[in-house]
Chain A
Amino acid sequence: MKQNNSRREFFKKTLAVTAGITIVPRFVLGGPGYTAPSDQLTRAIIGVGGMGKGHINYTDARLLAVCDVDQNHLKEALDIAGSGVKGYSDFREVLNRPDIDIIHIATPPHWHGIMSVMAARAGKDVWCEKPMTRTIGEGKRVKEAIHATGRMFRLNTWFRFKDVFYGMETTVKPLKKAVANGLLGWPLTVTISGITGFNWKFYWVGKTNLQPQSIPKVLDYNMWLGPAPVKPYNQHRVHQTFRGYWDYDSGGLGDMGQHYIDPVQYILNKDDESPVKVEVDAPQQDDDAVGTWRRITYTYKDGCRIILDGENRDKDAAYIEGPKGKIYKGFRSTIPHLKEKLDLLPDPAPQIIDFRESVLTRKKFALNEDNGYRSCTIVNMGAIAVRLGRNLEFDSEKQEFIHDDEANRLINQPMRGEWKMD
C-alpha cells in the first residue's frame, strides 16, 4: 500500500514540476534512451581537505581527478592518490571531462547545491557529503535537477542502512522493525544527544569580531567563497573551522545533524513529509558566527517528535519512546526480551546500499536526493530557527514557513556574482 501512496505522491510531484515547466522525470518509469555506464566506473573528487581526503580511499570507482582551491590540499591529495590522477583548481574543468562518471563533492556545504546541480547537468552521478545543502531552497533545486537529468545521487551518510546508530549499540534495522511493527505504539519521540559521539555543540562555534588577515598565497579565497558573500579573510573562516559561520554551514548541527537525523526520519517513516513545527532554546546568535544552542524540538503533524538535546540533559539518550515503551542507550528497553521479539519480525524492505549498483542499474540509492532533501531540510529548519532565535511553523506541503517572511527568506539565500542555481 505504501507503494501506491508514493505513486500518488508522484502524481502530485509531476504536476508540481510541470507547473514550473520542468521535465517529467524519465527515470521514474525507466523510459528508453539510457546507455548504462560501462562497468569500469570512474570518479573525481572536488574538495580534498579534511573530509575529501578520506574519499580518495573509497573503492567504488577508479579515481581520475581531484580538485581543490588550496594548493596544499591538492598537493597532499595527489601524493596520496598516486599516479593516473590529475589535479585541478577549477571544478568546472573536472565537470567538462567526458570520461568521468561520478563526482564526489566534499567541499564546505555552501558549494554542495551548485556543484550537485552542475554535475548532474554535465551528466555525472553525484556522491555528495553531508549536509546535502546549506539551504532548503538549494536542496529543492538539487532534487529537481537530479530528477530532470535522471542522474543518481547518494549522500555520504549511512546510518540509515549500516553502522551502529549512535549510542544505541545497534544498527537502525531492529529499531525500524520495532517501530514499524508497533512495538512502541504511536506517536513517537526520538531524543538524540551528545552520546552520538560528538557533542552537538562540539567546537563548531564561530568567533565573533574576526580580524582581517592576509590571504595565503596557496589559497584561491575568491573561489573558496564562491556563492558566499565576501568577508575579509581570517583563517578561522576556512578549512577545519568553517562550520562556525552561517555563510558556509551551521555549526555542529550542520556537521553532524544529518548523520543523526536521517536515520530517525527513516525509522519514523517520514521520508515523504517534514515537521510542521520547530522550537528552539538557544542564546541569541551572531549575524556571522554560529553559536551554541541548548535544545531543538521538531514536531510532525501526527505528533511524532525529534528532540536534539544539545546540553545532554537526558542521560539515557539516544532513545525512542512511544506510548507502549521505549528503547534507549545501549539498546536497552522497557520491553522485555526485545531482541528476541525483533528476531521474529519481518525485515524492512531492502535498499540499495552500494552506490555502484545504483549507478549501474539506475535504481535509486538508499539515501538519495529525495529522502536526503527531507532530512537536510530538518537540519536547515533547525538552523534557521536558531539563527533567528524564534520558534517556527512549517508547511510540509509547500515547504515554507508559515507567516514568517524573514524565515522564508532564509530558505533561499542570495548567491554572489556569477553563481546561481536557477
Chain B
Amino acid sequence: MEDGLKRKRMEGSLYKQKNNKKMIRRIKILMGVLLMVWISVPTMGQDIRTEETKVADILTQFPAESIQQTDKLMEEITGMGEEGILRFCRLIVSPGTGNDIQARYALGSLARYAGAPGNERIKGEVENAFLKSLELSSDREIKAFFIRKLGVFGGDATAEAMKEYLETKDLYSPALFALTFAGTEKAKSIILSSLPDKSADQQVETIKDLGKLEYLQAESVLISMAKDPGTNEDVKKQIYSSLAKLGMEESEATLNTAARNAGYSSDKTEAMNAYLEYARKIGEKGEKKISKSICINVLKKCTNSDQLVYRSAALEIYSQLEKRECIKLLIKEFTGNEDKSYRNAVLCISGENMTDESKESWCGIFREVSAERQQELLDFLSFYPGKEVVKKVIEPGLSSEDENVRAEAVRVLAFHEKEKAVPELIQQLRKAGGEKEYNALEKAFLNVCSEKDGKMLAGSLNLLNEKGQTIIVKVLCEKRCVKQGNVVFDYCYSDTPPLRAESYSGLSRIVESEDLGKLILLLEKTEYLKETELVEKAIIKLYTNDTPPSDGSFLKAMEVSNSKEKYIPVLPYLKDKNSISQVSHLFKEGNTKEKVASFKALTKWRDTSVLPILYDIFSDKELSEFHKEAINAFLRESGSGNIPDDEQLLWLKKIMIECQSIAEKKEVIKAAGEAKTFLSLVFVSSFFEDDELKSTVAGAVMNIVLPSVGKKDGMTGKVARELLIKAKKFVGSYSQIDIQEYLDKMIDEEGYVSIFNGNNLDGWQGLVKNPLERAKMTKEELAKEQVKADKLVPEYWSVKDGCILFNGNGWENLCTKKIYGDFEMLVDWKITKKGDSGIYLRGTPQVQIWDTSRVEVGAQVGSGGLYNNKINRSTPLVVADNPVNEWNTFRIKMKGDVVTVYLNGILVVDHVVMENYWDRNIPIFPKGPIELQSHGTNLLFRNIYVKEISEEAIGKKEKAEGFVSLFNGKNLNGWVGNKTDYSAENGMLTVHPKEGNHGNLYTEKEYSNFDFRFDFQLTKGANNGVGIHAPLKGDAAYVGKEIQILDNNASVYANLEKYQYHGSVYGVIPSKRGYLKPVGEWNSEDIIVKGDQFKVILNGEVILDGNVKESSKNGTLDHKDHPGLKRHNGHIGFLGHGSELKFKNIRIKEL
C-alpha cells in the first residue's frame, strides 16, 4: 500500500513530463531525476503515516488559522479521495455523544470549498461522500448536518436525495433549503411535486421558494390552488406573490379577481401588491397590453387616500411602459391631487424618465400652479440644470409674491448655479423681505461662497440694509476672508446690535498675527463681557496658530493696562513659563475681576506646574467658591499622563484629605483607579468600608488589577486576589464575568506583603552591629545582643497614624526580623529639613535618602542612589525628590546583586550592581534583612511592602500561561532516539558524546505550532541544534528544520556564513549575532513556531523573526534543497554534533 502510493506519485510526475513534448529530451531526463529526488525526500517522512494518521494530522489543524491554511488543508483532504472524505464524515456524532468539533470544522470548509468556482472537479466526489454519509446515519441531527452542508454546493444527485427528506417533518426545512439553493430544473420539479400534501406553513415556504426560483411550470398548480376555497389566506397571499413573480399571462384572471375581491385595498392576502407586481413583471416581459390595462384599471379604481399608494405604483409601472405619452398624465395627477406625498411620488416617477420634452412641460406649468406646488417643482427641477429651468422656474420664483416660494427659489438657485450664483444672490439680498428668505439667502451664501468672493461681498455692503450687512459679515468670517478683515473690525464699532454681535463672533476667524495690535485696542474698549470674551478668543487663536506673535508685545500691553482681567485668559496659551506665577499672584492679590479671571486661567493651564497652586486653592477653606472647579482641574491635569503614576498617587492622597463631599471623594478614587500601581490599590481599598464609596472603590480595584486592554499588565498576588473577589460583589454583570475570567486564570502567588502593620512594630527589631560581625557571633551571643538592641528601639522608633516615626535623635537602625534574598519593595518616606536616611538592602547600606538642599554633602544629586558604591554608579540618574515634608515613594528591585530604584515613579537607578560595603572584596550577601536607617533627623515611613522573587513563582506563572515540561530532570521518559549520548544528570539534560554514536534525541510527540523554551550552557566551540517539524530519520536540518545552537564566538567559527550563526534557521534565515552569554553561563532561549513563521528569542533579545516560506521563495541561502520547509508538523529534537553541552528547564507551550 505504501509502496503503491509512492509509485503513483512518481508515475504522476513522469506523466506530466511526457505530455510536455516541446522539452528537450535531455532536460526532461534531468528534470525527472531531480523531481524524483525532490519528491522522494519528503515522502519518506509522509508515507510512513497511515490514512488514519493523516486524518488525525489534518484534523488537529482545525480550526484553521487563516484562509490560506484552510485552502491548503482542503487540498490535502480532497487528495485523499472519496474514501478519505468518508473517513472524516464518519467522525460526525450526535450532539452530546462525543467531540466532533474538528470534523465539523473540516466538513464545513469542505462543503464551501467544493462549491467554490474552479473546484468543480472534486465536487462530485465530495457530494457522493456526503450523500453516502447522509444515508448511513440514522440520527436526525447528523442527517440535518449533511443536508445543510450539501445545500451549500450540491447538484442533481443532492436534489434526487432530497425527495425523500421533503416528506419528513424533521428534515423538511433543510431539504427545501438545499433544493432551493441548488435551483436546477430537477430541484424545482421535485419541490413542486412535493407541494400538495403539506401543511399550510410548509406550503407557504414551498410556494415562496417556487416564486423565488421563477419556476414557470408551477403556475397551473398555483392557479388551481388559488381557486380552491379551502386554501387559507396565508397560502393565498404567497400564491399571489409567487404568481406575480412568475409573470405568466394565464395568471392575469386569478390576480385580477383577487384584487377585485380585496376591494383594490390592502387586505390579508395583499392581493393588490401581487396584482401590481404582476403588472410590472409582465410588462417587463413584453406583454405591454396586459400591463397597461391593469395600470389603467388601478388608476380608475384607486382614488381614496389609502389607495394612493397603489395609484402611485400603477402610475410608475405605466410610465415605464409609455415613457413619452405619460407626461400629460403625470402633470394631470400632479396638478389635480391634493395629497402632498402622492404629488411627490408623481415627481419621482417623472424624474426616472426625464427628457428635455418632459422638462419643458414641467417648466411650462410653473406659473399656473399653487405656491405649494411651485415649491415642489422648484425642488424637483433643481436636479435638471438648464437655461429654461432658470428662466421659467427659478427667476419667476425669485420674484414671487409668496415668501416661501422665494426662499425655495433662492435655495434652488444656489444649488443649481453654485458659485456663479453669487452676483444674483447679492441682488436678491438687496430686495429681500421676510425671515425665511433671509435665512435661505444666508444658507445659500454659505453654501456657494468661498474666500475669493470676499472682495465682491465686501463691495456690496454699502448697498445693503443692516440685515443684509449682517449676513455678509457672517459669510466673510465663515469663509475666512482675512483680506476683508478690516471691514469686520470696523463693524465691531457699529451701533446696530445684531451686526455688531456678528462682527465680534466672527473676529477670531479672520484675524492674522499682524492684527494683534488692533485686537488689543479693541480689547481695551470692550464693555460687555460677551464681547470681551470674543476678542480674547481671537487673541488666543493667534497664539495657538502655527506662527504666533511674540509674547512680549502682549505682556507689555497687559502691564500698562487698567483692566488686566481682560488679558489674563490669554496667558495659559503663551509660551512664557513665568506667566503662571503672575497669574497665581493676581489670583491672590488682584481685585475681584482679576481674581476670577486668574482662577479660570489656572483651570485651563496645561502643565503640571499648576498642580500645587490648584491644591492650595482646593485646600483653602476660605476659597470655597473655587473648591469644586479646582478639584476638577486638578484631577484632569494630574491624570494627564504628564506625571508618573507613583507621583500622581501621592498628590491624590494629599487631595483626598481635603475633600469635603462624597462626590469629590469618588472622583479622587476613580482617578487613583487610573494609576495602575500596587499602592494605588492599597489606597483605594482603604475606602472599601464606606458604604457610599464602595461601588466606586470596586470599579477602581477592577481597573487597577485587571490587565489594560491589549496588555499583560494584570496584577497578581494575594492582596489583589482578595480585593478583586470583594470588588466583584459591587460591579455590573459584565464586569463580574470579566473579573471571574481573570480570577480563574490568575496564578497563585503571594505577591506584595505588607511588612508594617500600621499599628506597632511587630516583625521589626533593633540592629546588632553589622552582618560580618553578626556572622562571627554564636547563637547565644547574638541573642543576647539582640535583646539589648531591641530595648533601644522604643526610645527612637514609634508608630503613629499608620506611619513609622523616627524621633530625630540617635543612630539606631530599624531592621526586619525576616531575611530577604531577591525581592521588590515599596516604601513611602518623608524627611524634614536637613533630613538624612536610607534603606539598607540585605543589611547593607544603602539606597540614599537626603534633603537635596544639603549641597555641602553633595545631596543636590537627589535621593535613591546606591550611596556606598565605589566602582559602580553611586548617584541617581536624575533628581526626582519631592520637597522636604512631602511624601516620596520608592520602588526598589533587587535581583542577585543588581538593584533598580524608582523614586516617585522616575527611574533613578537602572540595574546597577550594589557593592558590599562591609567587605569590598566580596559581592553583596545573598540574603539579609531590610533596614530603615536613622541619621539624626526626623523621619516618617509608611506603606512598606515586599514581594519576594522566587524561581518557583516563575514556574507557576509559566504553567498558568500554558507551558508544560518536556523533561523531568530524572530520566528520558517522553524522548526517543539517542539515549546513549544524552542523559539526565542533576536535573539537566547533558550531552557526553561517545565515539561513533552521534544520533539525535527527539520528543516522542509531534508538534506543529509552539513556543519551545529552554536554558542551555555551552562549552567552548560547542555545536548542537534544535530540530523542528522533524521526522525521526534523515538529516533534520533538511528534512525538517534546524535552529542552530553554536558557540559562534569560538575562533574555529570565525568564517561562518550568517545563516550558520547561533539561532539561525540553518541554511535558510540568518540570525543576529552577539547575544550569547560567555561560555559557561546559562542562556535562555525561546523558539516560537507558527506555521512558516519562526521567531527566536535569546536572553530576551529577538535574534530571528522571519518566514521560512518567504525566505526560501527564490531558493535557500545555502543553495541546498530543504524539503523539510514544506512540513508543518513533526518531532522536536536535539541534533547532537559531538560537542559537550547541557540543557535544562525544557518546556513547551503549544499554540
A interface, CB within 8 angstroms of B = 1, 4, 7-8, 11, 14-15, 18-26, 28-29, 31, 33, 50, 193-199, 203, 208-212, 231-232, 240, 281, 283-287, 291, 311-313, 315, 330, 336-337, 340-341, 343-344, 346, 388-391, 405-406, 409, 414, 416-418
A283 to B96, Cβ gap below 8 A?
Answer: no
B100 to A209, Cβ gap below 8 A?
Answer: yes
A212 to B96, Cβ gap below 8 A?
Answer: yes
Can you list 9 A-B pairs, Cβ within 8 angstroms, ordered by A? A11-B351, A15-B316, A18-B312, A21-B272, A199-B710, A281-B66, A284-B63, A343-B537, A391-B67
Chain B: minimal CB distance from A291 (Å): 7
- Interface check B105, CB cutoff 8 A: yes
Roughly how many angstroms separate A19 CA and B272 CA in the complex, as a whole number?
13
B272 to A194, Cβ gap below 8 A?
Answer: no
- Interface check B1148, CB cutoff 8 A: no
Chain B: minimal CB distance from A181 (Å): 11
B62 to A240, Cβ gap below 8 A?
Answer: no
Q: Can you name 10 extra interface pairs (CB under 8 A) apart from A18-B313, A283-B64?
A: A1-B447, A21-B273, A29-B340, A194-B710, A198-B709, A283-B66, A313-B710, A340-B544, A341-B541, A391-B67
B181 to A409, Cβ gap below 8 A?
Answer: yes
Chain A: minimal CB distance from B281 (Å): 11
B201 to A417, Cβ gap below 8 A?
Answer: yes
A336 to B546, Cβ gap below 8 A?
Answer: yes
A284 to B709, Cβ gap below 8 A?
Answer: no
B residues 300-328 in Cβ contact with A at 8 Å: 305, 308-310, 312-313, 316
B540 to A193, Cβ gap below 8 A?
Answer: no
Roughly how many angstroms separate A18 CA and B540 CA in the complex, as a whole number?
55
A203 to B105, Cβ gap below 8 A?
Answer: no
Contact with A along B333-360 (1 / 0, CB 8 A): 0000001111011011101100000000
Roughly how many angstroms separate A209 CA and B91 CA in the complex, as a whole number?
13
**B544: contacting residue among A14, A240, A336, A391, CB under 8 A:** A336
Task: Collect the chain B residues with CB atoms within 8 Å of residue A197's CB.
Answer: 709
**B348: contacting residue among A14, A203, A389, CB under 8 A:** A14
- Interface check B177, CB cutoff 8 A: yes
Chain B: minimal CB distance from A363 (Å): 17
B545 to A388, Cβ gap below 8 A?
Answer: no
Task: Collect the chain A residues with CB atoms within 8 Å of residue B709's CB.
Answer: 193-199, 312
Roughly how many angstroms separate A209 CA and B349 CA in the complex, as a whole number?
55
- Interface check B101, CB cutoff 8 A: yes
Roughly how many angstroms separate A193 CA and B711 CA in the complex, as a whole number?
12
Task: Collect the chain B residues with CB atoms within 8 Å of residue A199's CB.
Answer: 709-710
Roughly how many angstroms separate A414 CA and B172 CA in the complex, as a whole number?
13
**A414: contacting residue among B173, B273, B348, B447, CB under 8 A:** B173
- Interface check B152, CB cutoff 8 A: yes
Contact with A along B740-752 (1 / 0, CB 8 A): 0100000000000
Chain B: minimal CB distance from A204 (Å): 10
- How big is the B interface, by class? 35 or more
Chain A: minimal CB distance from B329 (Å): 16
- Interface check B573, CB cutoff 8 A: yes
Task: Collect the chain A residues with CB atoms within 8 Å of residue B741's CB.
Answer: 203
* Known contacts A193-B709, A240-B733, A284-B64; A212 and B95 CB within 8 A of each other: yes
* Known contacts A11-B351, A337-B545; A24 and B312 CB within 8 A of each other: yes
- Interface check B1035, CB cutoff 8 A: no
B residues 536-575 in Cβ contact with A at 8 Å: 537, 540-541, 544-546, 573
B residues 272-313 in Cβ contact with A at 8 Å: 272-273, 276-277, 280, 305, 308-310, 312-313
Roughly how many angstroms separate A281 CA and B65 CA in the complex, as a whole number?
9
**A330: contacting residue among B508, B546, B641, B711, CB under 8 A:** B641
A311 to B447, Cβ gap below 8 A?
Answer: no
**B340: contacting residue among A31, A211, A409, A416, CB under 8 A:** A31
Roughly how many angstroms separate A411 CA and B341 CA in the complex, as a whole number?
31
Task: Collect the chain B residues with CB atoms within 8 Å of residue A33's CB.
Answer: 305
For A196, the closest partner residue in chain B by CB is B709
* Known contacts A19-B280, A31-B339, A406-B152; A337 and B737 CB within 8 A of each other: no
* Known contacts A208-B101, A284-B63, A406-B112; A15 and B352 CB within 8 A of each other: yes
Roughly how many angstroms separate A254 CA and B349 CA in the complex, as a whole number?
39
* Known contacts A195-B710, A336-B546; A283 and B65 CB within 8 A of each other: yes
B544 to A24, Cβ gap below 8 A?
Answer: no
A24 to B710, Cβ gap below 8 A?
Answer: no
Most buried by A among B65, B95, B382: B95
Contact with A along B91-114 (1 / 0, CB 8 A): 000011001110011001100100
A341 to B544, Cβ gap below 8 A?
Answer: yes
* Known contacts A199-B709, A406-B152, A409-B181; A340 and B541 CB within 8 A of each other: yes
Task: Collect the chain B residues with CB atoms within 8 Å of residue A283's CB.
Answer: 63-66
A414 to B710, Cβ gap below 8 A?
Answer: no
Contact with A along B132-158 (1 / 0, CB 8 A): 000000000000000000001000000
**A286: contacting residue among B63, B347, B415, B738, CB under 8 A:** B63
Task: Collect the chain A residues with CB atoms within 8 Å of residue B339's CB.
Answer: 31
Chain B: minimal CB distance from A316 (Å): 11
B residues 356-405 in Cβ contact with A at 8 Å: 379, 382-383
**B737: contacting residue among A8, A203, A284, CB under 8 A:** A203
Chain B: minimal CB distance from A183 (Å): 13
Roughly how many angstroms separate A344 CA and B544 CA in the complex, as a whole number?
11
Roughly how many angstroms separate A14 CA and B201 CA in the complex, as a whole number?
32
**B308: contacting residue among A20, A24, A232, CB under 8 A:** A24
Chain B: minimal CB distance from A197 (Å): 8
Task: Collect the chain B residues with CB atoms within 8 Å of residue A193's CB.
Answer: 709-710
- Interface check B70, CB cutoff 8 A: yes
Task: Collect the chain B residues with CB atoms within 8 Å of residue A203's CB.
Answer: 737-738, 741
Roughly how many angstroms separate A199 CA and B710 CA in the complex, as a whole number?
8
Chain A: minimal CB distance from B564 (Å): 22
A28 to B341, Cβ gap below 8 A?
Answer: yes
B101 to A286, Cβ gap below 8 A?
Answer: yes
- Interface check B658, CB cutoff 8 A: no
Roughly how many angstroms separate A23 CA and B537 CA in the complex, as a whole number?
52
Task: Collect the chain A residues with CB atoms within 8 Å of residue B108's CB.
Answer: 287
Chain A: minimal CB distance from B850 (Å): 37
Task: Collect the chain A residues with CB atoms within 8 Å of residue B309's CB.
Answer: 18, 21-24
Contact with A along B254-280 (1 / 0, CB 8 A): 000000000000000000110011001
* Known contacts A19-B280, A24-B309; A344 and B341 CB within 8 A of each other: no
Most buried by B among A1, A26, A344, A388: A344
For B99, the closest partner residue in chain A by CB is A209
- Interface check B115, CB cutoff 8 A: yes
Roughly how many angstroms separate A280 CA and B544 CA in the complex, as a whole number?
42
Chain A: minimal CB distance from B271 (Å): 11
Task: Collect the chain B residues with CB atoms within 8 Å of residue A313's CB.
Answer: 710
Roughly how many angstroms separate A231 CA and B145 CA in the complex, as a whole number?
12
Task: Collect the chain A residues with CB atoms within 8 Å of residue B112's CB.
Answer: 388, 406
Task: Collect the chain B residues with CB atoms within 8 Å of residue A231's CB.
Answer: 95
- Interface check B509, CB cutoff 8 A: yes
Chain A: minimal CB distance from B644 (Å): 16
Chain B: minimal CB distance from A115 (Å): 20
Task: Collect the chain B residues with CB atoms within 8 Å of residue A11's CB.
Answer: 347-348, 351
Task: Collect the chain B residues with CB atoms within 8 Å of residue A22's CB.
Answer: 273, 309
**B344: contacting residue among A29, A208, A240, CB under 8 A:** A29
- Interface check B478, CB cutoff 8 A: yes
Chain B: minimal CB distance from A34 (Å): 12
For A291, the closest partner residue in chain B by CB is B63
Task: Collect the chain B residues with CB atoms within 8 Å of residue A417's CB.
Answer: 201
Chain B: minimal CB distance from A347 (Å): 12
B272 to A1, Cβ gap below 8 A?
Answer: no
Chain A: minimal CB distance from B448 (Å): 9
Most buried by B among A26, A196, A240: A26
6 closest A-B pairs (Cβ-Cβ)? A312-B710, A194-B709, A337-B544, A284-B63, A340-B544, A23-B309
Task: Collect the chain A residues with CB atoms within 8 Å of residue B710's CB.
Answer: 193-195, 199, 311-313, 315
Task: Collect the chain A residues with CB atoms within 8 Å of residue B280's CB.
Answer: 19
Roughly how many angstroms separate A389 CA and B100 CA in the complex, as a whole number?
20
